[in-house]
Amino acid sequence: MDITLVGPGRAGLSVARAASAAGHGVVGVVARRDEAAAEAAEYLRTEAVSLGADLPPCDLVVIAVRDDAIAVVAEALASSVARCRSAVHLSGLAGVDRLAPLASAGLAVGAFHPLQTLPTPDAGSARLAGAWIGVTTEDAELRDRLHELATTIGALPFDVADDAKAVYHAAAAAAANYPLASLVMASDLFEAAGVPWETARPMVEAVVDNAFSIGPRSALTGPVARGDVATVAAQLDAVHRHAPEWLASFASAVSELARITGRGEAFADLLADWRPPASER
């Protein structure tokens, strides 16, 4: 496909670079600032296009801007896309209706959301190989073409219903960020014990592998899953003495694990005793 990129940030440049490497043509780059468009065009070896100018003929306009700017950008582009066939945004949360001005201009519209972290264009484009990409559109032809685009860059496409995008995005945020909160807690507790944080890596990697090979619920192990209340009580006491700033979070994690494993009743009394004072909640 011939692609025009609108919004040359990390996500947009990652997708455009991966597409270019796969043999697609990036025929133009649009940015709010001409300097940013020129810099991105040089990176992608294509042409910079001023916002408001007619976009070059293309199969797909990729809008890679903040969620709260998608509708505004779509409105600004509506009079410039006569030679374009379709448009997508890269948001995992925003609905396709934010591209309504482009749909009114005759373009098929949808969303193309890489379920991957894209820290830099170079690293991001490499990480798209093997990543999953959520596709949302009501246009059957565009759906097929977006699936094909994902496949050609080495990614794995899947469909996401427009009305499910918010809960899908919540799931993605939980998967990408909430484990890190637990790992920050673990890192601080290892430090309090005088044990190097690196010692946890093989165990953490094995836990993640187990979660995807047998399912996260089946992968649960440890004293909460076993119903070992005395061991968890000793852990809570240790956290209280050595890292009290983590006590509420540790107790909350115990509570969630107890709920998930069906051990809520066994741990109810212990958790009631370890609830933080009202002033700390």
Place of tokens 């899908």: 168
Residue 211 contacts by C-beta under 8 Å, 6 or more apart in sequence?
219
Of residues 101, 93, 96, 47, the one with CA closest to residue 72: 101
CB 110 within 8 A of CB 131: no
pLDDT at 273: 78
Considering the segment(s) 2-160 as one domain, its CATH architecture is 3-Layer(aba) Sandwich (3.40)
Domain extents for the chain? 2-160, 167-280
| C-alpha dihedral sign at 164, 167, 169, 175 | negative
- CA dist 75 and 57 (Å) reads 19
| C-alpha dihedral sign at 146, 148, 153, 158 | positive
Structure tokens at 245: 């700033």
pLDDT at 275: 59
pLDDT at 280: 47
Residue 228 contacts by C-beta under 8 Å, 6 or more apart in sequence?
none
pLDDT tens for each residue of 167-216: 999 999 999 999 999 999 999 999 999 999 999 999 999 999 999 999 99
* 25-31 sheet: strands from edge to edge: 48-50, 25-31, 2-6, 60-63, 86-89, 108-115, 132-136, 156-159
Rounded mean pLDDT of the chain?
95
What is the identity of the amino acid at 182? S
- CA dist 215 and 210 (Å) reads 7
Torsion angle in degrees (nearest 10) through CA of 174, 177, 183, 188? -120
* Fold entry, domain 167-280: N-(1-d-carboxylethyl)-l-norvaline Dehydrogenase; domain 2 (1.10.1040)
What is the identity of the amino acid at 166? A
CB 80 within 8 A of CB 104: no
Which residues of the chain have a pLDDT value below 50?
277-281
